[in-house]
Amino acid sequence: MAWPPRVVTLPGVERSVSVAREWAGVVLEAVGCVGVDDALLVVSELVGNAVKHTESGGAGGLVMVVVFDAGAEMVRIEVIDDGAATVPRQREPDLESLDGRGLWLVERLSCRWGVRRVGGGRQSVWALMPMAEPKPDKYESASVGR
């Protein structure tokens, strides 16, 4: 069953990474998605990148997170930032470095991901994530009596 997009706008600060992750978990659970750990990691990586690498991380910056049903047991996650001088791109992680793995992880966990320009110089980094349908409760169909 299709469900409408859910949107939250957060300040462009580090604390918003965990807030966005928790919010997305609540949304995905509420619409019946299961196996959401990869999707929540993607939310964390995309919001973290927006805060760290775009104008969203500056004074008064904002990050918008959009989660919506993309059909065929897929969920689309979009993180819209305040824009940047560069376009996000995946790079090979440096094994010595503590960072630089965000889009590498997104690439591996998602079916597809990309970047699109939105109005006002802002950009959206999105990922298409597979979601399993809710599994029936194994006790629901069990007979209680004989």
The 3 state secondary structure assigned to 1-69 is CCCCCEEEEEECCCHHHHHHHHHHHHHHHHCCCECCHHHHHHHHHHHHHHHHHCHHHCCCCEEEEEEEE
What pTM does this model have? 0.84
Question: Is the pLDDT at 75 greater than 90, yes or no?
Answer: yes
| Residue showing tokens 């979009």 | 78
The whole-number pLDDT of residue 88 equals 74
**Which whole number is the average pLDDT over 6-12?**
98
Amino acid at 31: V
In a domain, 1, yes or no: no
CB 30 within 8 A of CB 87: no
- Read off the pLDDT of each residue in 110-137 and give the average, rounded to a whole number: 86
Quick one: pLDDT at residue 97?
57
- 145 compared with 59, residue with greater pLDDT: 59
Helix (H, G, I), strand (E, B) or coil at 146: coil
Q: What's the confidence (pLDDT) of residue 131? A: 85
Domain assignment of residue 73, yes or no: yes
Asked whether residue 120 is assigned to any structural domain, the reply reads yes
Residue range(s) defining the domain that contains residue 78: 6-92+99-130
pLDDT digits (tens, 9 = 90+) for 36-72: 999 999 999 999 999 999 999 999 999 999 999 999 8
Q: What is the CATH number of the domain that holds 113?
A: 3.30.565.10
> Which value, in Å, is the radius of gyration of the alpha carbons in the chain?
17
Output the average pLDDT for the chain: 87
* Number of folded domains that form the chain: 1
Other Cβ atoms less than 10 A from the Cβ of 14: the count is 12
